[in-house]
Copies of this chain bind each other. A is one copy, B any other.
Amino acid sequence: MTKRLSSLLLQLLLLSITAESSSNRIRHVKPPIRNGEPGTKPYRYETQYFHQTLDHFSFTDLPGFEQRYLVGGLQRWAPGGGRPIFFYCGNEGDIEWFAANSGFVWESAPLFGALVVFAEHRYYGKSMPYGSKEGAYANAKSLSYLTTEQALADYATLLTDLKRNLSAEDSPVILFGGSYGGMLAAWMRLKYPHIAVGALASSAPILQFENIVPPETFYDIVSNDFRRESVSCFNTIKESWDVLESRGQTVNGLLSLSRDFNLCRNLNNSEDLADWLSSAYSYLAMVDYPYPSEFLMPLPANPIKEVCKKIDGLDEGSSVLDRVFAGVSVYYNYTGSVDCFDLEDDPHGMSGWDWQACTEMVMPMSSSQDNSMFPTYDYDYSAYREQCIQDYGVKPRPRWVTTEFGGHDVRTTLKKFGSNIIFSNGLLDPWSGGSVLQNVSESIIALVTELGAHHIDLRASTKDDPDWLIEQRETEIQIIKQWIDEYHQERVASSSMSGAAMM
C-alpha cells in the first residue's frame, strides 16, 4: 500500500472518529466507510441516473439533481411477473463500494429471480446536488438538504418510478442496508410500507440516540472485544493513554513519539496520536471478522486476536507504547508495505457524515471509567453543539431523530404496529449495542450472533464462513421468502374480496 492511499484512508478514519480525549475537538463515530475509489466490482450491473427532487417536503424552487443507481439482474427480469426487487438503501459513501461489499444481496437475488437495485444516497458518490461535490458541499445552505428524510423520500420516489417504468407494480420490494444503510432500510419500511414489504436492517443502531441506550455502550463493547481475547491486552491499551500523554509533555517527547510510531510528519500534540490509536481499535471491533478481509484495510482473520497477540507477545522488557504500536500495526500495516504513517487530518474539511452528525445524527458517546479501555470521556452536548456551529454554521437537532422515527420504548410502540423487519446484529460489533437485540413481535425480529461483527451477514459468502453465519443467512432467506409469499397471498385475497364487494 502506498503512503498516499494509506493517508487517504487515515484521513477518513480520523475525520469520523469521536475524540475520547479531553480535547475540545468533537468528532463523530460513524460506520466505517471509504469514500475513495469504489473498490472492486465483482457484480454485473448497469449504472443509471434518476432526476431527483432536491426538496421533497417544500415547494421551494430548487434545481433537481441526478441520483445514481445500479441495476443488476435485468437479464433475468420479466416485467409483470410479480418477482421481487431487492433494493439496497445506499449509505454515506460511494454506492459502488457498498455494492461491492454486499455480496449477500447479489448472491440471494437469483434465488428469487429478483432485480437488484443499489441506490446512492444524496450528497455521496456521484449523486451530488448543485452539479458537483464542490457545489453540494459549498456551505451550510447547499448542504441543508442532506437529511435522512430527504434520502428516504428519494428512495420512495425512485422506487415508485422504477416500478411504473418496469411494469412492476405487483413486485414486492425488499429493502437491504447495513450500518446507517440499515437504519435507512428499517425506517423506510416503517415510513413507506406501501412501497416495500420488508427490510433486512443489518447492524443498524437505530437506538443510538438521546438516552435510549447508555452513551458508554459503544466503547464498552469495543473494550470487551479486546478483553475477551486477552485481559493483559486490554490493560496495556488502557494504560497506554497516560503514558502517551506524559511522554508528549517531556522534552522532545513529541519528536520521539513521532519517530517511535514511524510517523511521516512530526506530531504537534499527543492527542492526534491518541485519536489515531483509538480509531484503529474501534474499527478493529467493527471488522473483527472470522476470515481474512479487506473491508477497510487488509486484515487477517480475527484481527483483534492478532492485535492482542502482538501486544502481549513482545519481549517482557518492552514498553507499553512499543506494544500498542505493534498492535495497531496489524490494522494500519498488515501488508507491511507502509513506509510511514500519515496522520494528516483537516478537521474543517467538510465530510457528509460530519454534517449529518452535526444536524440529525446526534449520537451521544462516552467512555466509562471502569469498563472502557479508552480514556474516560463524558459526553458533553454543549461542547458538541458549539463545535458544530463553529465548523458548519449549523445547530444540531438532537431530539429530531426520535421525534421523526421513534426509538424510545420501541417494543411497546412496534409490538402491534409495523411488520417485516429483521434487525441482524453481531455482538462483537460496537454498534450492536444501539440496535434492536430482542424480538419486538412475530415479524419484527432480532437475529443476534454472538461472534458476528459489523454487518457480516451482508457480505459475500466465503469458504471460511462459520456455521453460525451460514445458518444466519439461511434464516434470512427463509424469512424474506415468507414475506414475499405472504405479499402475493394477500394481494390475491384482497383482489378477490374487492371483486366480491363490487357485486
Contact = CB atoms under 8 A, between A and B. Distances in A.
A149 B55 CA distance: 12
A160 B419 CA distance: 24
A194 B144 contact: no
A501 B59 contact: no
Given A58-B55, A403-B157, A415 B494 contact: yes
A490 interface: yes
Given A153-B404, A191-B191, A147 B59 contact: yes
Interface in A41-91: 53, 55-61
A378 B56 CA distance: 29
Interface stretch (A100-108, A295-303, A341-349, A405-413): A405-413
A195 B60 CA distance: 28
Contacts of A192: 406
A150 interface: yes
A259 interface: no
Interface in A365-400: 394, 397, 399-400
Nearest to A358: B59
Copies in the complex: 2
A194 B150 CA distance: 20
Nearest to A407: B194
Given A412-B490, A491-B412, A494-B412, A58 B147 contact: yes
Contacts of A405: 194
Contacts of A195: 403, 406
A143 interface: yes
Given A191-B191, A417-B419, A59 B150 contact: no
A404 B193 contact: no
Interface string A472-503: 00000000000000110011001001100100
Nearest to A158: B403
A310 B168 CA distance: 54
A497 B490 CA distance: 33
B411 A494 contact: yes
Contacts of A157: 403
Nearest to A413: B194
Contacts of A190: 193
Interface in A149-207: 149-150, 153, 156-157, 160, 169, 190-195
Interface string A400-436: 1011111111111111111110000000000000000
A410 to B, nearest CB: 8
Contacts of A141: 60-61
A407 to B, nearest CB: 7
Interface in A426-452: 438, 443
Nearest to A169: B408
A417 B190 CA distance: 9
A140 interface: yes
Given A57-B147, A60-B141, A418-B418, 10 more contacts: A59-B394, A60-B144, A61-B140, A190-B193, A193-B417, A194-B413, A411-B494, A411-B497, A412-B487, A416-B420
Closest 8 CB pairs of A and B: A194-B406, A57-B57, A59-B144, A193-B417, A194-B413, A60-B144, A58-B144, A412-B494
18 contacts: A55-B57, A56-B404, A57-B57, A57-B58, A58-B58, A153-B404, A156-B404, A160-B402, A193-B406, A193-B417, A194-B413, A195-B406, A412-B491, A416-B490, A417-B418, A417-B419, A418-B418, A438-B501
